Structure 1
Amino acid sequence: MTQTHPDYSKVFKDMSRSNDGRLKRVLILLILVSVVIYAGIVGYMYVNQDSLLYKPSGELPAPKEVGLADVDVISLPMSDGVMLTAWSAPPATEDAPTVLFFHGQSGNLGDRADRLREILNSGFGLLAPSYRGFPGSEGEPSELALISDGIQMFDQLDAVGTVVVLHGQSLGTGVAAAVAKERPNAQLLVLEAPFTATVDVAGERYPFLPVSALMKDQFATRDFIADVTVPTLIFHGTEDETVPMHHSQALAAMSGDTAELHVIPDGTHNDLWSYGLWDEVQSTLAQ
């Protein structure tokens, strides 16, 4: 009697094909899940980009509450009807300039009281707007709106013969530089911890995302800084983890002889004034 043996090679082949099929299904499932998660991240970043770029918070204090008793709170109507709140003070002497100050991306004007106090103690005038959508002001912030507002405020000062120094802090550097390009009669442009573009900073933080395609407000100072003829001072700290110093180095190189870069050893993103930033500004203006 002939004994029949199982065909183990066929069994193993069937098992192998079954395992291959399972592996393929698992891989496809992982790919689909990854695509869904990635699309969710991209969608979240796109929908919430304004809240990631503009971060107003708190209530706008009265200037006297933060040691600025000589500062007035004024309302500035913009050309589209939006009403902005600004802190204002005249210069101590007729020949002293007024600083048009553009703050950073978060908080409110009260958080910049120490900076503004130094400006006033120098005898300079002050006009510091609260951006659209920030405490005290109407509207919603956007790159085009902030720059348009900045130009209008410059023109209001210029119309009465005021000498204007443009000062931008972080996000405000994108506004101040854009105003300087359009208004070359400004006396000085001060850029405190600037970026080449907000989209460049975002690209460095989120290299896995197509930020250049996602971001609406890119504040690409690099695209026009070479056309700014206003004398420019750029300040950046070596320990700045919010906007790395190479952004300022790039802007200074693009500006040619127009800009003077001040590298501040150990300086971070928000403490440059404690390293003598304003002393350098006053020294430049006194020349």
Structure 2
Amino acid sequence: MTMISLRLALRFLLVVLTGSALLAGCAVLDTQQRRWIFQPSSETWRGAADAAQGMDERWIEFDSRLQAERARVHALWLPQDRPDAPVLLYLHGARWDVRSSAPRMRRMHDLGFAVLGIDYRGFGQSSGDLPSERLAYEDARAAWDWLAAQHPNARRFIYGHSLGGAIATHLASQVDDAAGLIVEASFPSIRDVVSTFRWGWLPVGPLITQRFEAAEHIARVKAPVLVAHGSADRFIRPELGRQLYERAPEPKRWLLVDGGSHHNTSAIGRDDYRAALRELFGLGRAPDVVQSRLEPPSRHDIPLQAVAASPPVVLAR
């Protein structure tokens, strides 16, 4: 072997080794990001356990194109007595399983929806070990297709809270049979959330693998969009929700709930929600669930940390 060929061979080997190291590093980084962002758990927030009692269990099975295997998604179903009730797919945020969202699911039920809430793979009783952005998108689409098959004549809506808002927005951008999209306490992208941190000036954008580019997706949504946020949300700042709203096409509504935290906005803003649903989606008021906006939140709605004073409620186009 000549000196030139040896040098070329060593250079090629160096490139291969460097590339392999980078790929290995990216794989580790991706796994860590999935853990950090989703924080998957089979546990339920203790304040929500009672609210999940009495909900019907459902199982959604489908062939995953991403994992080339049979996937099994666990769901909770909260039906309405009226056969013509609108149906809502509920997509939860990070950390806890779907049972922890039972209080919020019941509030949406009180507003007139039949509600199906799912656990992504890696959460609760669903199959899989670790969620990812793409897997969560696939799970949401499978649940949507299941709802369409089970309730083909119903008006079907998509709702997402926090991280679930980004998943809901992606789903709404992919389907043409959604009657509306409701996003609460969400954000334009993970990169935008990171930019609000103390060290958010660091150029970490290119290293983010779980990007959740909700602002890009919401621009392609053809259904009416309601974006709600609590003015005292310390986890996802209200301005991030407003930025997401600005990217949505008309018709749309922005609902800023005075004093709402990341956890209780739909509770203390219940009447504002009802008005927005009626105005934007044409959903009527259920006479047996009218409640005062001054009603104190239940113990399920108590935020995990104190909230600060905030500006007044804004309900605008």
TM-score normalized by the length of structure 1: 0.77
Flag structure 2 segments of 5+ consecutive residues without an equivalent.
Answer: 1-25, 65-69, 285-317
CA deviation string 1:43-82 (max 9, x = no partner):
9976621221011335359xx9523444211221132212
Q: Corresponding residue for 1:57?
A: 41
Q: In terms of Rg, which structure is larger? A: 1
CA deviation string 1:224-250 (max 9, x = no partner):
222111111111122222111111221
Q: Corresponding residue for 1:142?
A: 132
2:148 aligned counterpart, secondary structure: helix
Q: Is 1:283 matched with 2:290?
A: no
* Alignment root-mean-square deviation, CA: 2.5
Q: Corresponding residue for 1:73?
A: 57
For residue 189 of structure 1, report the CA deviation from its aligned partner. 0.8
| Amino acid paired to 1:283 | R
Flag structure 1 segments of 5+ consecutive residues without an equivalent.
Answer: 1-41
Q: Is 1:252 matched with 2:245?
A: yes
Aligned counterparts of 1:97 and 1:194: Cα–Cα separation in 2 = 23
Aligned counterparts of 1:54 and 1:187: Cα–Cα separation in 2 = 28
Map residues 1-287 of structure 1 onto 2, 5 A cutoff.
Answer: 48-59=32-43, 66-80=50-64, 81-139=70-128, 140-159=130-149, 160-161=151-152, 162-205=154-197, 206-277=199-270, 278-280=273-275, 282-284=277-279, 285-286=282-283
- The answer to whether the 8 Å contact 1:92/1:123 transfers is no
Q: Corresponding residue for 1:36?
A: none
| Amino acid paired to 2:203 | P
Aligned counterparts of 1:121 and 1:238: Cα–Cα separation in 2 = 23
Change beyond 3 A, Cα 1:92–1:55 = same
- The answer to whether the 8 Å contact 2:38/2:131 transfers is yes
Aligned counterparts of 2:110 and 2:200: Cα–Cα separation in 1 = 43
For residue 122 of structure 1, report the CA deviation from its aligned partner. 4.1
Aligned counterparts of 1:65 and 1:207: Cα–Cα separation in 2 = 36
Aligned counterparts of 1:98 and 1:231: Cα–Cα separation in 2 = 15
Change beyond 3 A, Cα 1:109–1:254 = same
- The answer to whether the 8 Å contact 2:39/2:94 transfers is yes
Aligned counterparts of 1:281 and 1:126: Cα–Cα separation in 2 = 18
CA deviation string 1:181-233 (max 9, x = no partner):
11132112110011000121123323243322111111101112221111111
TM-score normalized by the length of structure 2: 0.70
What number of residue pairs does the alignment pair up? 244
| Amino acid paired to 2:274 | D
